[in-house]
């Protein structure tokens, strides 16, 4: 849902940046790769040390590359299967780094097994959410349903880590991680059910 309402807004905001990068000869693929490296650095260099504020700021600074590279590709007429594949694959790496950084903190110096478990659940279930859709499309079906798409998960966890970094009680992040894990599980079930309906309909037709 957030994707539908926010994409048009951020496309307008980042169009001047996309034009600048294209004028400098920078390709959309380079923006995708640099953005992913920045997200991974911010998440894995700071979250495992409990430095949530600076980690969130660094991650946020690079996470918008996911929008900029798409705008650049459309403006340059270079939208295609390779760009979509690269973008989707590296998105998974960035997401894993964010939740993985939280797992490392809470399983280590953060010393909170429950929080570590919730972050790990978000990491695993988030990956399965993406896989469920990709596998369905690979089989010629669709599975673009669900209450916890990538944009929602990222916004929720980054806002929470930012607030905790400012001094808000850590329980906020725990509640958000629990809700994200549950919503991701529901999304997996929704996508599996959607594929099952399509598969049975294909057999009956």
Report CA dihedral (100, 104, 107, 110) to the nearest 10 degrees.
-120
The single residue of 66, 91, 95, 109 carrying the catalytic annotation is 91
Torsion angle in degrees (nearest 10) through CA of 95, 123, 57, 6: 60
Q: Which two tokens stand for residue 152?
A: 């929602």
Closest CA to 80 of 32, 35, 140: 32
User: How far is residue 85's CA from residue 54's CA, in Å, rounded to a whole number?
Assistant: 30
Q: Could you confirm whether 91 is annotated as catalytic?
A: yes
Active site residues: 91
């Amino acid at each position: 849902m957030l994707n539908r309402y926010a994409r048009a807004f951020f496309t307008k905001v980042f169009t001047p940046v996309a034009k600048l990068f294209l004028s400098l000869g920078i390709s959309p693929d380079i923006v995708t790769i640099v953005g992913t490296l920045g997200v991974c650095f911010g998440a894995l260099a700071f979250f495992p040390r409990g430095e949530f504020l600076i980690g969130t700021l660094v991650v946020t600074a690079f996470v918008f590359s996911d929008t900029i590279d798409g705008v650049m590709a459309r403006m340059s007429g270079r939208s295609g299967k390779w760009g979509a594949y690269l973008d989707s694959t590296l998105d998974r790496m960035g997401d894993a780094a964010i939740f993985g950084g939280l797992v490392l903190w809470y399983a280590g110096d953060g010393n909170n097994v429950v929080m570590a478990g919730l972050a790990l659940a978000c990491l695993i279930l988030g990956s399965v959410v993406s896989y469920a859709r990709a596998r369905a499309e690979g089989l010629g079906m669709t599975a673009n349903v669900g209450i916890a798409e990538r944009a929602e998960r990222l916004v929720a966890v980054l806002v929470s880590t930012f607030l905790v970094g400012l001094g808000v009680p850590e329980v906020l992040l725990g509640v958000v991680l629990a809700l994200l894990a549950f919503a991701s599980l529901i999304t997996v079930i929704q996508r599996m059910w959607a594929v099952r309906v399509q598969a049975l309909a294909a057999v009956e037709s």
